[in-house]
Copies of this chain bind each other. A is one copy, B any other.
Amino acid sequence: MHPLVHRVITGDKRALARALTLIENDEAERRALLEGFYPYSGRAMVVGMTGSPGAGKSTLVDQVIALVRSKGLSVGVVAVDPSSPFTGGALLGDRVRMLRHSTDAGVYIRSVGSRGSLGGLGQATRDMLYALEAYGCDVILLETVGVGQSELDVMTVADTVVLVLTPGAGDAIQTAKAGIMEIADVFVVNKSELPGADALVRELQLMLHDKRSFREDWKNPIIRTNAVHGDGIADLWLAVEQHHRHMEEGGHLLARRRQRHREEALRLVEAAFARYLSERAEQDADWRRALLDNLADNPYQTAEKILEDLPWIRLRSGNDSVL
């Protein structure tokens, strides 16, 4: 058992900070930590909050922290900023506001940059949740900026995904293209005092009306908020709680967690295979000749030759080639 595990479980905040840094950057330590934290997982409510830059997510997260704390629940926040290089755990820009909670023992806030995270941003963030759950967080808020593939990857671990939109700026249409509309469970129209808020709500209603099927039989609510004034935060949290109950009662939460477990295990096996492959490509003289020196073969031909040396890779469908 990694020595930090016991300290994190017993609520040592500095040990948690250290563990998160190791999980982000140190492959050797990560495994021991995750194995220690794993038995404590599956207890927290994980809420993802995403949307375009400027939508007011950080202010909203700040308000949600206050609300969750007022219910006596502890909260962990992971704020992901893929556009930024290493943050080393520092908070960026707007998120500094959240620091007012940092003296509260029931709140832990962590910022994650994209570059240099071991296994990529999605993997690092997912693994950090295990630490926060073991630390005892009742609620984990996962904030991401933007709508790229990294954000979609990150959101696969959330029990509930909240998409924050604002009036104007063609937000709804832009994000719809990016695929986040499909995975959002709760829609928020923030800055709802701005002109265009009604139009955005109607646009969302129409879009939802046209939806043929709802993921996990959940009808997405649309919540109006004004994060700066704290309006609508209670409604938002109620919608999140309702979604969570819906997921639990329908067995969907367990299904999502099984899916996550399966994918994490398969990614580890794939990574082990990739290491085996590149190590053998370095060391195997026959492979080097076929791989490196033979530009006359196209990459498919080269891959075929390698696969002939790895005859256990055969799909059951009985194709001659697995490429």
Which A residues fall within an 8 A CB radius of B?
31, 34-35, 38-39, 42, 82-83, 85-86, 114-115, 148-149, 177-179, 257-258, 261-262, 264-266, 268-281, 283, 291-293, 295, 298-303, 306-307, 310, 312-317, 322-323
Chain B residue numbers with a CB within 8 Å of A300 are 31, 34-35, 265, 268
Nearest-CB residue, chain B, relative to A30: B300
Contact indicator B265/A178 (Cβ below 8 Å) = no
Nearest-CB residue, chain B, relative to A317: B279
Contact indicator B315/A31 (Cβ below 8 Å) = no
Chain B residue numbers with a CB within 8 Å of A270 are 270, 273-274, 277
With contacts A85-B177, A275-B315 known, is A281 near B303, CB below 8 A?
no
With contacts A269-B306, A269-B310 known, is A257 near B298, CB below 8 A?
no
* Min C-beta distance of A268 to chain B, whole Å: 4
Nearest-CB residue, chain B, relative to A278: B266
Chain B residue numbers with a CB within 8 Å of A149 are 114-115
With contacts A177-B85, A261-B299, A303-B268 known, is A279 near B115, CB below 8 A?
no
Chain B residue numbers with a CB within 8 Å of A273 are 270, 273, 313
Q: Do most interface residues of chain A lie in helix, strand or loop, or is the interface mixed?
A: helix
Contact indicator A307/B269 (Cβ below 8 Å) = yes
Contact indicator A272/B303 (Cβ below 8 Å) = yes
CA distance A302 to B203 in the complex (A): 45
CA distance A228 to B143 in the complex (A): 40
CA distance A262 to B82 in the complex (A): 29
CA distance A302 to B274 in the complex (A): 18
With contacts A261-B295, A275-B322 known, is A178 near B269, CB below 8 A?
no
* Min C-beta distance of A28 to chain B, whole Å: 11
CA distance A42 to B273 in the complex (A): 30
Contact indicator A292/B323 (Cβ below 8 Å) = no
With contacts A268-B303, A306-B265 known, is A276 near B322, CB below 8 A?
yes
CA distance A262 to B281 in the complex (A): 9
**Given A266-B306, A272-B307, 12 more pairs with CB closer than 8 A:** A31-B300, A34-B300, A38-B298, A39-B298, A258-B295, A265-B303, A266-B277, A269-B277, A269-B310, A270-B273, A270-B274, A276-B313
Q: Which of B266, B291, B315 contacts A265 (CB 8 A)?
A: B291
